[in-house]
Amino acid sequence: MKICPLIVLCWLSMIGLVQSTAAQQSFRLKEIKFTGLKRFTELQVAPFSELKIDQQLTIEDLQKATEQLSRTGLFDTVSYQYKFENGALQVEFLVEESSHLLPCNFDNFVWMNEEEIRQFLKKEVPIFDGTAPPIGSVLDRIIESLNGFLKKQKIPGTVTLMAAATDRSNKLDHLFRVEGVDIVISNVKFEGLRALDAKQLEKVATPLIGKQYSRFYAAQFASANLVPMYRKLGFLGVRLNPKASVLSAEPGSVRVLLTYDTEEGPSYKWDRAFWSGNIQFPSEELDKQMAMIPGQVADGIRIDEGLKTVKALYARHGYVEAQIEAGQEFSSAGSQVRYHFSVKEGTQYRMGGFEIVGASQRTAELIKEKWLLRPGDVFNGAYAEEFVDREVSGAQGPKGVKVEASLDREKKLVNVTIRFL
């Protein structure tokens, strides 16, 4: 049977007309459901669709609602399906929650403490749970709410956002800051001290006085300068948590007291080390490099130096990419600590090319004559720096000399360049 092309064309046109009419026709919204929610509830998510029960809406409105949900940043995927029941529309959004939400930290909001900030945002942005997507309308609402607080309090500042690693994990967090307000540290004090005298810590913290307050920077300062004082005494789990309280405030200018809430924990003694993954060197040799004695104070600084010595041992034998992961096992009985060291030795590297840059021809020839590592020799990771200190110190350029070691991972070679600056 032959079908007239004109009939087919008319039939397709009618389908398009029906679809267009359905898209433009409005229906009463009876129900909204979400499938795929795990972290959040329907009550938290539904407002972002901007749909309301019993409103009249079109299919085009559903598409816009899907886009609104996508723009929150809360979901990796959003789609919808619908059905009619007694002339009303039942909508189901199919979502896959994002696994990339970042913790929120507040750097210099000295007008509220951490808990007050979180409660405030929970009220302003009900879905807030201490995290936020990397981008999207949820993040925008958090910033708008914080700016609204500043405006209501007549604080002439603006909220800015940056990504920062706020702890030892080096994972990025959201860091919210107030710019445009002079927030200066007037004094520093410590609470919760038992092992160390406050004056010792206050002396070390003196450089913070007069600086702009930043909770993030205050925490970094503590990690670099205050925590080592405790770790040397075996307080391996010590925490110093910075907070600020307002001493005086004027428009655009605030003076604060920086307080470190100190959680010292116990002082530990060294028990022993367990090694795994070490093939080239026996555990006894690695213990010797660590130079820790059972029953002694578990001096965290000495432990760090011991690990550097172990890595240097591997590097001197060509294992320049050796890595050591440390785990701790604490015993409440006698406050002892055992370390579990997992060694990834990697591949042994050998000497590759050797080049002198920036020196005269005569100087370069003399240096090459003294260089003892030949191509193919097992590479000694300490040799180049020791060689420069011993043989090149008197022939440096006006700005010194730099040693560059580049790894050829495919050939397992180390190419060395001594560069006169």
What pLDDT, on the 0 to 100 scale, is given for residue 171? 77
Supply angle C-alpha 405, 282, 294, rounded to 5. Answer: 105
Give percent of the chain above pLDDT 70: 91
pLDDT bucket at 315, cuts 50 / 70 / 90: very high
User: Do 241 and 263 form a contact (C-beta atoms < 8 A)?
Assistant: yes
| C-alpha to C-alpha distance for 189 and 174, rounded to whole angstroms | 27
pLDDT tens column, 110-133: 999 999 999 999 999 999 999 999
- Sequence-separated (6 or more) residues with CB below 8 Å from residue 239: 262, 263, 265
> What is the pLDDT averaged over residues 349-370?
93
Domains of the chain: 24-97 (3.10.20.310), 102-263 (3.10.20.310), 269-344 (3.10.20.310), 350-420 (3.10.20.310)
What pLDDT, on the 0 to 100 scale, is given for residue 21? 47
> What is the pLDDT averaged over residues 29-41?
94
DSSP H stretches of helix in 281-349: 283-290, 300-316
Mean of pLDDT over the chain: 90
| C-alpha to C-alpha distance for 329 and 339, rounded to whole angstroms | 6
pLDDT bucket at 16, cuts 50 / 70 / 90: very low
What pLDDT, on the 0 to 100 scale, is given for residue 329? 95
pLDDT tens column, 247-298: 999 988 999 999 999 999 999 999 999 999 999 999 999 999 999 999 999 9
What pLDDT, on the 0 to 100 scale, is given for residue 106? 95
What pLDDT, on the 0 to 100 scale, is given for residue 394? 63
> What is the pLDDT averaged over residues 387-409?
81
What pLDDT, on the 0 to 100 scale, is given for residue 418? 93
* Nearest by Cα to 290 from 185, 323, 300: 300
Structure tokens at 303: 């432990």
What pLDDT, on the 0 to 100 scale, is given for residue 225? 97
> What is the pLDDT averaged over residues 90-117?
94
* Nearest by Cα to 325 from 309, 345, 305: 345
Beta-strand ranges (E) seen in 107-193 are 131-132, 158-165, 172-179, 182-191
What pLDDT, on the 0 to 100 scale, is given for residue 3? 43
* Nearest by Cα to 339 from 349, 326, 322: 326
CA dihedral 268, 272, 277, 283 (to 10 degrees): 140
What pLDDT, on the 0 to 100 scale, is given for residue 320? 97
What pLDDT, on the 0 to 100 scale, is given for residue 401? 87
Is pLDDT above 70 for 72? yes
